[in-house]
Amino acid sequence: MHAGRPARRLTTTTGRGAAGRRVTHGASFTAVSVRRSSERIVASSAVVFALAGLLRGCVPSATDTATDRRTESYPDAATAKQQMIDAVDDATRLLGGHWKARAGPDHPEDCVLSDGEQGAQWRYLSGSTLAGDPSEDGARIAEHWRGQGLRVIVRDSDDGPAVLGRGGEQIASISAYASPGNSTVQAVSLCFPGDADRIAEQQADE
């Protein structure tokens, strides 16, 4: 703006249109321009908020990302079975005497994996006519399993102590019943992906 030149003011002219109505040109033009600018601002704001919502929907949350990174590790059927057999053999060697399989180790059962999916597990029961001292045998196996890092529960009964071990990374559980002339050791394998009925059918066909 040059010095000394008065500022231009918006003037309003009034006349009559073709139908004889009075028309205010300057004010009407200004009002329309302001209204249209406001509408564009509102529309632009709506688009910005909509895009922000879409972006939030496209970016995974911390929980989703953590879930994707988390992976479960399960043994296969053969590994789970062998670990179970080894646990039973270890216990029977400690107790001594002659032991014979009464159920399993090729006995599949249903179980549920830690992710909620269906799985299968093995069960192995071995028995002996061992005529030892039930209290001493129960205490010995309980101490042995505690040394292996298992959580051990001992329950006394009229026939002899029952010892239950859980935890560890090799089996789901193992138990020993020390009874004169009828001692047993039973173990349950870790749950692994599979279907117990289908595994039983496959074993029957072999």
Task: Give domain status of residue 57, yes or no.
Answer: yes
Task: Give domain status of residue 9, yes or no.
Answer: no
Q: In this model, does residue 41 exceed pLDDT 60?
A: no
Query: What confidence tens digit (pLDDT) does each residue in 3-33 have?
Result: 444 444 444 444 444 444 444 444 443 443 4
Predicted confidence at residue 160, as pLDDT, reads 87
Phi, psi of 31 (to 5 degrees): -65, -45
**Domain at 165, CATH number:** 3.30.2030.30
Same domain? For 102 and 166 the reply is yes
Predicted confidence at residue 19, as pLDDT, reads 44
Same domain? For 29 and 95 the reply is no
Q: In this model, does residue 2 exceed pLDDT 80?
A: no
Give the pair of three-digit tokens for residue 138: 């129960």
Q: Which of 27-31, 62-66, 91-95 has the lowest mean pLDDT?
A: 62-66
Query: What confidence tens digit (pLDDT) does each residue in 137-188 have?
Result: 999 999 999 999 999 999 988 888 999 999 888 999 999 998 888 999 999 9
Q: Which residues pair with 186 in a beta bridge?
A: 125, 175
Strand, helix or coil for residue 197: helix
What's the average model confidence in pLDDT over 118-147?
93
- Which residues constitute the domain of residue 89? 77-205
In the chain, what is the straight-line distance between the N-terminal and C-terminal CA atoms, in Å? 101
Predicted confidence at residue 72, as pLDDT, reads 63
121 closest CA partner among 105, 104, 108:
108
